[in-house]
Amino acid sequence: MAAGKLLDVAFIVACRAALLVALPASAVAQSPGAARAVETVAENDLFLVRGRGAPPDYDYTHGTRARVTWSSAPGLIARAVHADSSCRAAESRAAGCVTTAAALTQDIYTPRHDGVAPVPGERPYAGWLGLSLGAARITPGVTRSLSLEAGVTGRPSLAEDAQMDIHRLVRTGPQLGWGHQLASRGTLGARYGESRRFERPAAGTRSVAAHLRWEGAVGNALTALSGGGDLEIASRDGAPWSPATPDVPHPSRLFARIAVRGDAVLRSAVIEGWRRGDAAVRRPLVAEGEIATGVRWRRYAVEYSAVLRGPEYRAAPAAHPWGSFRLTVDGY
pLDDT in tens, 175-216: 778 989 999 999 999 999 999 999 998 777 899 999 999 999
Question: Range with the lowest mean pLDDT among 162-171, 179-188, 296-305, 318-327?
Answer: 162-171
Strands (E), 174-237: 185-201, 206-219, 222-236
Beta bridge partner(s), residue 106 = 64, 129
Asked if residue 18 has pLDDT above 70, the reply is no
Q: What is the pLDDT of residue 30?
A: 45
Q: Are 325 and 41 in contact (CB under 8 A)?
A: yes
Classify each residue of 95-123 as buried b or exposed e, where b means 16 or more C-beta atoms within 10 Å of its C-beta. Answer: ebbbbbbebebbbbbbbbebeeebeeebb
pLDDT in tens, 55-65: 678 899 999 99
pLDDT in tens, 109-127: 999 888 788 888 999 999 9
| CB neighbour list of residue 214: distance below 8 Å, 6 or more residues apart | 193, 194, 225, 226, 227, 228
The CATH class for the domain spanning 31-331 reads mainly beta
The three-class DSSP label of residue 254 is strand
Q: Which of 24-33, 109-118, 227-236 has the highest mean pLDDT?
A: 227-236
**Residue 14: what residue type?**
A
Cα–Cα distance for residue pair 279/297, rounded to 1 Å:
46
Residues 19-33, mean pLDDT to the nearest whole number: 48
Residues 273-291, mean pLDDT to the nearest whole number: 93
Q: What is the pLDDT of residue 13?
A: 41
Asked if residue 9 has pLDDT above 60, the reply is no
- Band the pLDDT of 69: cuts 50, 70, 90: very high
As a whole number of Å, the end-to-end CA separation of the chain is 31
pLDDT in tens, 38-61: 999 999 988 887 766 666 788 999
Q: What is the pLDDT of residue 188?
A: 98
Asked if residue 273 has pLDDT above 60, the reply is yes
Q: What is the pLDDT of residue 25?
A: 39
Q: What is the pLDDT of residue 204?
A: 75
- Band the pLDDT of 16: cuts 50, 70, 90: very low
- Listed by start position, the domains of the chain span 1-30, 31-331
pTM listed for this prediction: 0.85
Q: What is the pLDDT of residue 51?
A: 63
